[in-house]
Structure 1
C-alpha cells in the first residue's frame, strides 16, 4: 500500500509543479518522477527490512541476503535510468521484466504470511495478493504508459 501512496502522491505533486513552472500539465515527466521516487522508496525498504525480505524468498533461492540487496540496488539504478534519455526505454523494459521476475516472491510471501517489516510470519497472507496482483500490473502499465508508449 505504501508504494502506491508514494506513487500517486508524487505524481500529483509533480503534475501540479509542472503546471505552475511550465504552464502546462506534463503527465509523462510526472509519471517518470513518481515511478523513480517510488523505486527509491522501495529500494530503501530492501536495506531497512532486509531480514523480512529474505523471508519473502523461497528456500531454493541461493544467497538470499545478496539477492535482496541486489534488487534494492537494481531499483536505485532503474530510478536513475528513467532520467537518462538514451537509457530511458531500455530501463523501462528492464523494469517491466524486473516487476515480472519479483512477483513470485510476493506470492511466496502471501502464502507464508510474511510480514516484511517485522521479519515474521504474521502478515496479511493470501488477502495480500488481492491487492498485490493489481498493484504489480499497475506498476507495469505505469512504466509502459509513461515511458515506453510515449518514447519519452
Structure 2
C-alpha cells in the first residue's frame, strides 16, 4: 500500500505545481510521470534497505537462481526507470520498460502470498488486493508509455 501512497503524493504535488505555474508539470501526464517516478524511487531504494531486502530475496520463487542478484537487478531497473520517467524524451520507453518489469516481477508476489511471507516485518498483501494494485500500476505505466 505504501507505493500507492507515494504515487498519489507525487501526482498531487506535481499537479499542484503545474497549476501554480510550473510549465513542465502543467497537465495530468507530467504529474502522472512524477507520481510513478516517486513510487519507483521508493520501491527501488527498498531493494537495498537491509530489512526490506531480506524479505524481497525471500519472495523470489525458490526455483529461480540467485534471488539476491535478481533483487539487486530489479531494484536498479526501478531506479533507472524512475529517472527515465522524468526525462520527456525517455519517458515512454521507461514507462514501457517498467510495465514489463512489473509483469515479470508479479510471480514473486504470488509466491510470497502463497508462502505467507512478510516484508519489512509485515505480512505481504494477499494476492487479490495485490493483483488489483499491480494491474492498476501496469495500466498507469502503459498509459504513460502510449501518451508520452
Q: State whether TM-score is above 0.5.
A: yes
Aligned to 1:45: 46
Query: Secondary structure of the equivalent of 2:139?
Result: helix
- 1:23-75 CA distance string (max 9 Å, x none): 89511100000000100000111111111101101111111111111110000
Contact 2:95 2:142 in 1 (8 A): yes
Instruction: Structure 1: state its 5+ residue gaps.
Output: none
Give the stretch that moved more between structures: 129-138 or 76-85. Answer: 76-85
TM-score normalized with structure 1 length: 0.88
Query: Secondary structure of the equivalent of 2:100?
Result: helix
Aligned length: 145
Query: Secondary structure of the equivalent of 1:149?
Result: helix
1:83, CA displacement in angstroms?
Answer: 2.5
Instruction: Structure 2: state its 5+ residue gaps.
Output: none
Query: Secondary structure of the equivalent of 1:82?
Result: helix
Aligned to 1:14: 14
Aligned to 2:71: 68
Query: Secondary structure of the equivalent of 1:139?
Result: helix
Query: Secondary structure of the equivalent of 1:58?
Result: coil
1:22, CA displacement in angstroms?
Answer: 4.1
Aligned to 2:138: 140
